[in-house]
Amino acid sequence: MMKTSINRLPRAPFALALTMALLCLAVGAPGLRGQPGDQAAVTAGGRHVVLHADGTWEYLQPARPFVEDRAALLSIADRTALDAYLASLEFRGLDARVVIVEALESRAIAELAADEFRAEPDQPALLVVLSRNDRHFLMYDNGSTGLSAPQLRRIEREEMAPRFRANRYAEGLRAGFEAALALMSLPEPSPAAP
């Protein structure tokens, strides 16, 4: 957890949203939890932030990030956009994660996916594991998504693989999650959700 003064806002995409949220908090704008003098919690750019009345804020690191790019395969912009998209899926009840590794190191990709999978048993969850050097990937679910193994393999083959072959990894990952969502029966996001 990081706590800092509003005077030292980071030069990150969520800085503007954070500044606007602080302004809204100061005047008690609707849509933020809290009243003037209270603290407020907002999500800005996919990051959870708690704003305090004294002008400080805390960036709350999620228990684990939505996108773990251990191989530095994605650009910062692509990783940030994909992270924000996956964070938005939580509002629909889907725990969606991506883990990108440099190499499998003689492990089966399904074994790596099983080791990385940390979802609640009753919450629909999807994990995509991608190995940069081995050029292997797998969309893995916990059995609560309602998707069958043939459906997941079709998504990999038709939506993700062509984009990965063209080195458009972020686009391929998002297309895979969007195709999975189209086959699932999750509630539509509420107007308050990003």
Structural domain boundaries of the chain? 2-60, 67-183
* Structure token pair of residue 18: 């954070």
Residues 6+ apart with CB under 8 A from 102: 70, 71, 131, 132, 133
d(CA 43, CA 90): 12
Q: 40-44 and 2-5 as β-strands: parallel, antiparallel, unpaired?
A: unpaired
CB-CB contact of 83 with 114 (8 Å):
no
CB-CB contact of 83 with 100 (8 Å):
no
Assign domain 67-183 to its CATH architecture.
Roll (3.10)
> pLDDT of the chain along its 194 residues, tens only?
444 444 444 444 445 455 555 544 444 444 444 444 444 444 444 445 666 666 666 655 555 689 999 999 999 999 999 998 998 888 778 889 999 999 988 888 888 888 888 777 778 889 999 999 888 999 998 888 889 999 999 999 999 999 999 999 999 999 999 999 999 876 665 555 44
**Angle of the 76-89 helix axis to the 169-183 helix axis, nearest 10:** 10
pTM assigned to the model: 0.65
Tokens 């069958």 correspond to what residue? 148
d(CA 118, CA 91): 18
Tokens 């509002």 correspond to what residue? 91
d(CA 186, CA 100): 26
